[in-house]
């Protein structure tokens, strides 16, 4: 293998010389005719419902045109490779009761049940306060009082476990009561492996505890008053569909002050496409202020005017002077926009080699297939040359359905350190791009077939080859220059 790599690098150098990237549906019940996603469906976010269907979201039935014939040849089921809930999380803490104003330490044990490593994985935690008895069904779930990432990104080998420690600093004015800490595992800050961060009812793991505080009441959003287009919104249900042709979408909710003091409160609205994890998905941000007397409530609203995307996520947040927060995430779907989304990207086995493939899962996030799509998939292994060596490659052009499908590319060469890159286009425009990297150093020293020291002779050989080529080129240039400088005798008479 080393000799082949040396020949490849030498050819590249010579050519240059000549020329000059646990589903836990705690509150998954029907609400207004919609149901939470059943286990096993994966990260679909919203159901693919034919436009003619008379759903309970208030949209009047429309006459659907005859569906266009679409071919998905070249794609296979994503669930042959990706399994939602495959990284279950166990949360634990040394205390079952926390005191307001004090830190609460916790540990998350994350297990990788996939046959391949999980890389660039992040743990996110939501802290929720029960407004009802724990375990009781509720169409809105608990109140979210915090959401934050924990620790650095993780690489977890198949069947292995990673332990992450974190701290939640309990706010001084945290409302007393029963709480839950919920865990989510996300890779590349976009692929949901355990739990759905944009929901309050589908989580990857949970830990129940209580908060003790002499102070009573809170300044918070009242989730029971949330609306989209003036109709009730339910946090533990599929997002509502906006009627076709609707431009502005008003989102409303009450803020209530149940404390015994007047509160001057600032509220921030952030509009995202799809979910609220990445800054590049922010479309708009707005801040407003309200003054609430004890026991008073105010109805606030935000108008989402963007019409370019399928799924929107409106994040409302507030933080009191004492540090207590209240967070709501309201999602809705535009039925007349159908754009594709990468659902997962990776390798079916590690190391790369015979019988394994790179794969990329994709689906339409709208209510119908996303047309005009193109998915490019390529895997490259590390190289000492400037350019990486391609070890897998495939492309699909066509439509993407609401069903999550996978494009695969069999590995043509072995590699213990490599990367898989997927580029998703629609109408010629780049929609998303992600690179998932697999490094034997990150995945454990015993997973590296060739220790790092063994590469030293290879590097030395390549360096020597470059020196020889450079020296030969220098000698040739000097000889040509000397020949050109010698006087040419005149022709004989």
Instruction: Please check whether residues 91 and 207 belong to one and the same domain.
Output: yes
pLDDT digits (tens, 9 = 90+) for 273-287: 999 999 999 999 999
Instruction: Please check whether residues 240 and 131 belong to one and the same domain.
Output: no
How much is the pLDDT for 323?
94
Domain for residue 490, yes or no? no
How much is the pLDDT for 276?
95
How much is the pLDDT for 489?
54
Residue at which a domain ends, from 184, 212, 240: 212
Instruction: Please check whether residues 456 and 388 belong to one and the same domain.
Output: no
| % of the chain at pLDDT higher than 70 | 75
How much is the pLDDT for 446?
64
Instruction: Please check whether residues 120 and 172 belong to one and the same domain.
Output: yes
- The better pLDDT of the pair 400, 464 is held by 400
Residue at which a domain ends, from 308, 334, 360: 334
Answer whether 357's CB lies under 8 Å from 408's CB: yes
Beta bridge partners of 421: 378, 435
Q: What is the CATH number of the domain that holds 308?
A: 2.60.40.10
How much is the pLDDT for 131?
81
The total domain count for the chain is 4
Position 57 pLDDT exceeds 50: no
- The better pLDDT of the pair 401, 491 is held by 401
Measured CA distances, 177 to 43, 97, 129, 237 (Å): 32, 10, 7, 25
Answer whether 124's CB lies under 8 Å from 149's CB: yes
How much is the pLDDT for 134?
65
Instruction: Please check whether residues 314 and 396 belong to one and the same domain.
Output: no
Task: Give the residue among 337, 312, 366, 347 at the shortest CA–CA distance from 422.
Answer: 347
Give the confidence band of 34 by pLDDT, cuts at 50, 70, 90: very low
Instruction: Please check whether residues 234 and 299 belong to one and the same domain.
Output: yes
Measured CA distances, 466 to 4, 13, 110, 461 (Å): 16, 7, 47, 9
Cα dihedral 136/49/38/85 (nearest 10):
-120
Domain for residue 29, yes or no? no
Counting Cβ atoms within 10 Å, is residue 348 exposed (0-12), middle (13-18) or buried (19+)?
A: buried
Which tokens in the block code for residue 301?
């609203």
Task: Give the residue among 184, 216, 207 at the shortest CA–CA distance from 97.
Answer: 207
Residue at which a domain ends, from 163, 178, 212: 212
Domain for residue 492, yes or no? no
Instruction: Please check whether residues 360 and 417 belong to one and the same domain.
Output: yes
Q: Residue 341, SS3?
A: strand
Instruction: Please check whether residues 225 and 125 belong to one and the same domain.
Output: no
Instruction: State the residue range of the domain holding 373.
Output: 37-50+68-79+339-440
Instruction: Please check whether residues 179 and 274 belong to one and the same domain.
Output: no
How much is the pLDDT for 226?
97
Domain for residue 93, yes or no? yes
- How far is residue 336's CA from residue 84's CA, in Å, rounded to a whole number? 28
Position 53 pLDDT exceeds 70: no
Position 460 pLDDT exceeds 80: no
Give the confidence band of 444 by pLDDT, cuts at 50, 70, 90: confident
pLDDT digits (tens, 9 = 90+) for 189-216: 999 999 999 999 899 999 999 999 998 8
Mean per-residue pLDDT, 228-247 = 93
Domain for residue 61, yes or no? no
Instruction: Please check whether residues 207 and 228 belong to one and the same domain.
Output: no
Q: Which long-range contacts (CB under 8 A, 24 or more apart) does 32-40 make?
A: 32/56, 32/57, 32/232, 32/234, 32/237, 33/57, 34/234, 34/237, 34/238, 34/240, 35/237, 35/238, 36/199, 36/201, 36/202, 36/236, 36/237, 36/238, 37/202, 37/238, 39/85, 40/79, 40/84
Measured in residues, the chain has a length of 493
| % of the chain at pLDDT higher than 90 | 67
Give the confidence band of 383 by pLDDT, cuts at 50, 70, 90: low
How much is the pLDDT for 469?
77
Beta bridge partners of 436: 420
Instruction: Please check whether residues 313 and 415 belong to one and the same domain.
Output: no
Q: Please give the backbone phi and psi of residue 159, each rounded to the nearest 5 degrees, phi first.
A: 75, 0
Domain for residue 15, yes or no? yes
Q: What is the DSSP letter of 352?
A: B
pLDDT digits (tens, 9 = 90+) for 94-148: 889 999 999 999 999 999 999 999 999 999 999 999 986 666 678 899 999 999 9
pLDDT digits (tens, 9 = 90+) for 320-333: 999 999 999 999 99
- How far is residue 115's CA from residue 413's CA, in Å, rounded to a whole number? 19
Domain for residue 112, yes or no? yes
Instruction: Please check whether residues 92 and 208 belong to one and the same domain.
Output: yes
> What's this model's pTM, rounded to 2 decimal places?
0.79
How much is the pLDDT for 84?
94
Measured CA distances, 89 to 143, 192, 199, 374 (Å): 21, 13, 17, 35
- Average pLDDT over the chain reads 82
Determine which of 29-43, 224-238, 286-300, 302-316 has the lowest per-residue pLDDT on average: 29-43
pLDDT digits (tens, 9 = 90+) for 407-423: 999 999 999 999 999 99
Domain for residue 491, yes or no? no
């Amino acid at each position: 293998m080393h000799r082949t790599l040396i020949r490849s690098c030498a050819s590249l150098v010579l050519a240059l010389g000549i020329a000059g990237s646990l589903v836990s549906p705690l509150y998954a019940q029907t609400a207004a005719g919609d149901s939470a996603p059943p286990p096993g469906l994966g990260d679909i976010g919203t159901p693919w419902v034919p436009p003619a269907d008379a759903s309970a979201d208030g949209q009047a039935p429309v006459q659907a045109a005859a569906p266009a014939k679409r071919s998905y040849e070249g794609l296979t089921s994503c669930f042959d490779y990706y399994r939602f809930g495959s990284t279950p999380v166990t949360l634990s803490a040394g205390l079952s009761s926390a005191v307001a104003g004090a830190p609460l330490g916790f540990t998350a044990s994350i297990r990788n049940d996939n046959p391949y490593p999980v890389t660039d994985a992040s743990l996110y935690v939501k802290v929720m306060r029960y407004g009802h008895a724990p375990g009781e069904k509720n169409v809105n779930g608990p109140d979210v009082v915090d959401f934050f990432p924990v620790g650095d990104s993780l690489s977890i080998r198949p069947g292995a476990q990673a332990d992450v420690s974190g701290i939640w600093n309990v706010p001084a004015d945290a409302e007393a009561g029963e709480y839950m800490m919920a865990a989510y595992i996300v890779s590349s800050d976009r692929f949901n492996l355990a739990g759905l961060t944009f929901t309050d009812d589908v989580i990857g793991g949970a830990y129940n505890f209580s908060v003790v505080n002499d102070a009573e009441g809170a300044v918070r959003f009242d989730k029971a008053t949330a609306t989209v287009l003036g109709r009730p919104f339910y946090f533990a249900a599929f997002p509502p569909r906006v009627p076709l042709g609707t431009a502005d979408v008003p989102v409303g909710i009450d803020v209530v002050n149940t404390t015994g003091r007047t509160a001057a409160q600032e509220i921030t609205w952030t509009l995202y496409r799809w979910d609220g994890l990445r800054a590049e998905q922010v479309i708009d941000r707005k801040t407003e202020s309200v003054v609430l007397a004890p026991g008073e409530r105010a109805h606030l609203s935000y108008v989402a005017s963007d019409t370019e995307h399928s799924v929107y996520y409106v994040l409302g947040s507030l933080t009191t002077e004492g540090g207590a927060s209240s967070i709501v995430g309201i999602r809705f779907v535009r039925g007349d926009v159908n754009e594709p989304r990468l659902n997962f990207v990776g390798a079916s086995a590690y190391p790369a080699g015979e019988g394994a493939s790179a794969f990329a899962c994709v689906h339409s996030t709208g209510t119908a297939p996303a047309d005009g799509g193109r998915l490019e998939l390529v895997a490259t292994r590390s190289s000492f040359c400037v350019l990486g060596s391609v070890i897998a490659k495939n492309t699909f052009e066509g439509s993407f359905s609401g069903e999550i499908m996978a494009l695969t590319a069999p590995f043509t060469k072995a590699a213990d350190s490599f990367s898989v890159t997927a580029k998703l286009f629609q109408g010629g425009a780049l929609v998303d791009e992600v690179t998932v990297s697999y490094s034997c150093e990150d995945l454990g020293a015993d997973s590296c077939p060739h220790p790092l020291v063994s590469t030293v002779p290879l590097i030395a050989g390549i360096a020597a080859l470059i020196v020889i080529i450079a020296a030969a080129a220098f000698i040739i240039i000097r000889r040509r220059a000397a020949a050109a400088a010698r006087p040419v005798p005149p022709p004989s008479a």
